[in-house]
Every structure is written in structure tokens, then in C-alpha cells.
Amino acid sequence: MLDIENLTVHYGHSVAVSGVSLTVGEGELVTLVGANGAGKTTILRTVMGLHRPTQGSIRYQGRDVAGLRPWVRSRMGVVMIPEGRRIFPELTVLENLRIGAYARTDRDGVAADLEKAYAMFPILRERAGQIGRTLSGGQQQMLAIARALVARPKLLLVDEISLGLAPILVDEVFRAVETLHREGVTIFLVEQNARKALEIADRGYVLSSGRLVLEGTAAELRANPEVKKSYLGG
Amino acid sequence: MVVQQIANGVVLGSLYALVALGLTLVYGVLRILHVAHAGVFVLGAYVGVLVYLPTGSLALAIVSAAVVCSLAGLIMYRFLYRPVLGRPPLVPLIISIGAFMFLEDLYRLVMGPYIKSLPVTIRAAGFETAAVRLTGYQLFIVAAAAGLLLGLWWLMRGTRLGLAWRASAQDLETAAAHGINTDVIIGVCFVIGSAIAAVAGVMVGGYYNQVYPSMGSVPAYKALAVIVLGGMGSVPGTVIAGLALGLAETLTMVWVGTFLPRDAIAFLVLILMLLVKPTGLLGRAS
Ligand SMILES: Nc1ncnc2c1ncn2[C@@H]1O[C@H](COP(=O)(O)OP(=O)(O)OP(=O)(O)O)[C@@H](O)[C@H]1O
Ligand SMILES: [Mg+2]
């Protein structure tokens, strides 16, 4: 579904991602873990089309997406839950969700997906008319997930969905990701919380200073002494 | 006297608000100070002269000015700003100031340095009581401004395009990542902002019965004062600030007299505002 080959990305003159190749197969949940500043967000943003690579190719459903603008990729089914949630602060919850479904023309499908999002996070229905910035951090994260859901993603890019959330909410948002995965959405999950990510993923990659250093099935990575030491807290 | 000056202030303020709206729309999505917007306003006034003198139709003059200026706005975006998106804000600002100066000289070359008159007459009746007298043309200005602002409000609040526009103004990248063609949204901002400035250009030209190459200079810096005052990027803030500035200017004539140059008031108010509330009337710290 997603094939990244030899991807290199710069910010000005400094290199953020260097020679990364990875694949996410149809229906898979693949995680990319790594420390602060490893380059995870940069990879996701480049896949979304928000950042231009210096080198390498990105193919989605077999098609090279170089040169396609973000909204075109989004309409092809690539949807991102961005780092820091990035909900629209002055729009209501419902308006945020309508932006998620903006490019869709199947009214009935949108209505059904909206119901699904509300069923997943009932608090959003209660707060439908409330302005985004007045939501708590956890509610904002739920809104960011719901906004992606109503876009009906084929490939969902998830960036640090658990960051800054209370443990009970961490479980809730990870459950939401698992649910989407079970329903057939392909997921590329970026996390610093490697323990959680490797619990739900099929496969994983480990990124360090812009380079891939390890890859394998989730079970392999969980058992890897290097991973245990550096990312799972011993 | 006071009532009369309030009425004059509302007329003047409506014009300030119309000119400044383009700056607000562009700043809202691109965070660029589109100084050359005042050059678009002057272009509108000249198109007004060129169309009104032979045809005598104010409606035709306004519509032609709006069309020409929309195109001019789009061209400026495409060739001045788009190539430098993502560069430090100083880059588009300097380009914009340069473009404004270029436009003033271009008008001087093409249309001549002297004042052209735009002797607009309209059939609408004026309004007169003991305390206040408004000409038909003044009433027309206020009505047109109100109509344009209501139309814009409806567009922003009541349509799908408006929803996409508001999302883009809050977070351009995230909007683009959610399927909104932000190039179109930015284009719409330039088109609407420039069309409104064109209408203001024709109305101002007709109000003072003069159109000249540098007529955009004073509106340029007043519009800057208005958008800072209103809280950068806030449309209702711009309208309120425009009206407030118009009123401040006419009312100081009453209470302070004319020894205080009227054009300095914009900056006095601005400085006071920045001391009291740096984010402007309706601005929010981000
Ligand atoms: N806009 C930017 N301009 C310049 N350098 C940047 C920019 N964004 C990121 N970087 C740099 O690129 C590198 C990779 O950053 P990136 O945000 O992709 O890492 P990350 O793995 O997502 O980190 P985190 O876990 O903190 O989110 C870092 O060294 C960072 O300092
Ligand atoms: Mg990151």
C-alpha cells in the first residue's frame, strides 16, 4: 500500500531523514518507533505531501505520489492524525468533523461515519457545538481521531497519538486505532511509546537519528535486547 | 455638530473597513502583510474613471473595477507571493512594498501625474434633519459597505466554502491535509479582497471627486493600523476597527480641533491600543 524507498529529507542544510526504505502492506498496522527528534514526524509529513523530499520515492497503491499536493493525496485516501492534534481551535466539534469529511460527496456515507465517530467517542456528540480550543487535551485527541475517521481513510498516518495523555486515555485512543485496523484500515503508527505501539502492531521499524536501525515483526522487536534497553525501559 | 461628525465618521470608517478587509483576508491565510493591496485600491479608482466618464454608469464602473482588480490580485499572488511562500515574513513584505511603489509609478506613467476627476452623481435622495445632513452618495457608500460586509459574513458563516476558508485561516497545513484545496482558498481571498478594494477605490474617488497616483499611500498605512487594531486576521475586528478609526478621526475634529493632523490619529490610536492590548480588539494570542 505504501512503499518508501531511499527517502532523504532536509530542513535547510541539515538532514532529518536519511536513506529510509520501508513498506506498509494493505491491511497492516506498522509502527515506526524512535526517540525525540529521530525524524518520525518528518517521514509522515513527507508521505502526506506537506514536506518535499530531497531524494527517494514514495509510492501509494503502486503510484508515485511525488508532486501530488496534500489535498490530492487526502482524497486518494491518505489521512493523517497529526502530531499535537492540530484540531481547528475556533471551529466547533461538528465543524471540525465536517472538515474531515470535506472532500467526500457521499452524504449517506458521511452521516454513517459521523454516527460511528460519535459512537466511538460519545463525549464528542455532547460537545458537538462547542469550540475546539475549549476541549480538554484528551477530547481534542479524540476529535483528531474522529476527524480522520470521517475522512474514511485507506491509509491512516498516526503521529504520537498518546503524547501527553493520562494512562486511561492512552488505552482509549490505542483501542480506537485497533478498532480502525480491525475494520481494514491500513495504519502507519508513529510512537515514542514503543511498548504500547509494539503491543498492537504487526510489524515495526526503529528509527534513530534519521536512519532505520532495526526492523521486524512486533514480537521480534519486543524480544530484541537492544529495543528492550533503549525503548522499553529495560 | 457632533451628530454630523458621527455620521461622517461612519462613512469614512466604512471605507477604511472595506480597504482593510483585503489585508485581513490575505493575512488570515498566508500571514503576509499585503501592502500592495493599496495599489489595487488605486487601480480600482482608475478603472472607475476610465469606465464612468464615457458611460456615466456607476454600476458598470464598480463592476469593471471589481473584475479588473480581482485579476490583478490573483496575478500578484501567483507571481509575487507564491514563489516566496515559506520564506521569512520579511521577504514577502519587502516584495509587497516594492510592488506598491512600482504600481504608484506605473499609474503616474500611464495615467499622468495629475488629479483626474470622478464626478459621480447618483439619483438617491439625501437625508437631512436639523442635526445631520447626509448626501445620497454618502448613504450609498454606507449601504454598499453594509451590503458587502453582510455578503462576506454569509459567505464565511453560511457556506461550505466559508467553512473551508475558516479552517484554512486557522491552520493552512492541516486544512490542506484534510482534502481542502488551499490554493483555491488563497485565490478566493485575493479575489474577494481585491474586488472589495476596487469598490472602495471607485467610491473614494467619487466621494472626493479625485483620483491620483498616490491616493493609495494614506489608505495603505491606515489599513495597516486598522488590521493591527482589529486583531490581525479577524474580519469582524477589521470592521469594528475601521469604523472606530473613522469615528476617532471625525470626532477629534470636534473636540480637539484641527491642530492635530487627522492622518496622525490612526497611529495615535494604534500606539494606545498596542500599549493596552497588543493582540488588538478581537485578536487572540496564538
Ligand atoms: N521545521 C523544522 N525546521 C528545522 N528542523 C526541523 C524542523 N522540524 C524538525 N526538524 C529537525 O528534524 C529532525 C527530525 O524531527 P522530527 O520532528 O521529524 O522528529 P520526531 O522523531 O518526530 O521527534 P518527536 O518524537 O520529538 O516528535 C530533528 O532534529 C528536528 O530538530
Ligand atoms: Mg514527531
Give me the domain span that covers residue A64.
Answer: 1-77+155-160+200-234
Does A138 reside within a domain?
no
pTM for the complete prediction?
0.89
The grid coordinates listed for B201 are 477605490
| Element containing residue A81 per DSSP (H, E) | strand A78-81
Return the closest-CA partner of residue B203 out of B55, B53, B61, B21.
B61
CA-based nearest residue in chain A for residue B172: A88
- Testing ligand 1's pocket by substitution, the residue of A8, A20, A33, A42 carrying the most ligand atoms inside 8 A of its CB is A42
CA distance B266 to chain A (A): 29
Per-residue pLDDT of chain A (234 residues; tens, 9 = 90+): 999 999 999 998 999 999 999 999 999 999 999 888 899 999 999 999 999 999 999 999 999 998 899 999 999 999 999 998 999 999 999 999 999 999 898 989 999 999 999 999 999 999 999 999 999 989 999 999 999 999 999 999 999 998 888 888 898 899 999 999 999 999 999 988 888 889 899 999 999 999 999 898 988 888 888 878 777 765
Total count of domains within chain A:
1
Predicted local confidence at residue B258, as pLDDT:
64
Which segments within B58-167 are labelled E, that is strand?
A: 127-128, 133-134
Domain range annotation of chain B:
11-224
CA-based nearest residue in chain B for residue A150: B178
The H helix count followed by the E strand count for chain A is: 10, 10
Does A109 reside within a domain?
no
| Element containing residue A186 per DSSP (H, E) | strand A186-191
- The CATH number of residue A40's host domain is 3.40.50.300
Q: Tell me the torsion sign for CA atoms B94, B95, B97, B98.
A: positive
Predicted local confidence at residue A25, as pLDDT:
94
Considering only A187-191, B95-99, B247-251, B253-257, which range has the smallest mean pLDDT? B253-257
Ligand lying nearest the CA atom of residue A33: 1
Rounded Cα distance, A116 and B21, in Å: 40
The grid coordinates listed for A109 are 456515507
Which protein residue has the closest C-alpha to ligand 1 atom 1? A11
CA distance B145 to chain A (A): 26
The grid coordinates listed for A97 are 468533523
Rounded Cα distance, B278 and B282, in Å: 11
Predicted local confidence at residue B133, as pLDDT:
86
- Testing ligand 1's pocket by substitution, the residue of A41, A158, A161 carrying the most ligand atoms inside 8 A of its CB is A41
DSSP alpha helices (H): ranges in chain A? 40-48, 70-75, 93-100, 107-120, 122-126, 137-149, 167-182, 194-200, 218-223, 225-231
Return the closest-CA partner of residue B196 out of B133, B151, B244, B227.
B151
CA distance B66 to chain A (A): 30
Does A72 reside within a domain?
yes
Tell me: the pLDDT tens digits for B61-82? 999 999 999 999 999 999 999 9
Which residues on A lie below 8 Å from B167 (Cβ)?
88, 91, 95, 99
Cα dist from B171 to B30, B128, B157, B180, whole Å: 10, 48, 17, 11
